Amino acid sequence: MALVPSTAVESPLIAEVDMGGASSDPSSVTVRATVVQASTVFYDTPATLDKAERLIADASAYGSQLVVFPEAFVGGYPRGSNFGVTIGSRSARGREEFRKYHAAAIDVPGPEVDRLAAMAGKYKIFLVMGVIERSGYTLYCTVLFFDPQGQYLGKHRKLMPTALERVIWGFGDGSTIPVYETPIGKIGALICWENRMPLLRTALYGKGIEIYCAPTADAREVWQASMTHIALEGGCFILSANQFCRRKNYPPPPDYVFAGIDDDEPSPDTVVCAGGSVIISPSGTVLAGPNYEGEALISADLDLGEIVRAKFDFDVIGHYSRPEVLSLTVKDHPQNAVSFTSAAKAESM
């Protein structure tokens, strides 16, 4: 069902705010941004893409120039599943569960990426989309970036999966920590708890990030403290998008066993991820959200002048840095398991 505009910023529907105009002075630009809080159609990637397009169309109709989706929206965040893993053993059922999860993931590049690019072009938006990326037989929790011309810009792979995520997702490397310079600001993203890695955040600050996207699966209230801190630390806008889903948004048992921490199967209407999506200014002001009520499009206008005003107080890699005492080296080249000397020789010829 379409989510329609509302005049209340705290509403579970779109917040209605004034739209500013562009200027030759980048700091005078105002950008309308939307974070999507919605559930994946689990194990059904075509249906998830259809849902994504409906949500993008709603946000675009309201004038959004940038739309950010949650972590693993395409492919799904397998909340409550343990894939049959215990220390020292794995189960046949768990291997089959991984096979189905692998089948729901997408190749990058691939037809699903082409479709997402076409959506960005059709609705004239910058699109930041959380996906499960399939690379051979390894899966990655990934964010994809698209521009309003319908071009795929690139990706960020989650550098450090958390806890049992490490069983099902590979580890990203320094070659996919991009920040894109765009007409609406410098855009980048980190995923969920890798936002709690100070050196990784510093890498984004070093690239001048202005619109910091934080797709997540963390609906706890304490997540808001992390987002506010990063906004203040980086002097940047924070756009954090999380799914809102109930048990019934996942396949019913026995097709999907929702073990959870206490191994109790939730009832169909039980909220298993409560959202908390939020938009925060560089001064730490909450512009929209957090929303814990249901699926929602949460929007605000970002006055890029706020970045300059915040940096006057604290510029973490500018006047407040001490490189003669503290410095960071980022190894931003791909880490390959196998390399071939013949290829290196060919490139040098």
Question: How many other C-beta atoms lie within 10 A of the C-beta of residue 316?
Answer: 17
Q: Catalytic one among 10, 16, 53, 71?
A: 71
Q: What's phi and psi for 27, nearest 5 deg? A: -75, -5
Distance from C-alpha of 346 to C-alpha of 109, rounded to nearest angstrom: 25
Known catalytic residue: 16?
A: no
Tokens of 323: 């490189």
What residues are labeled active site? 71
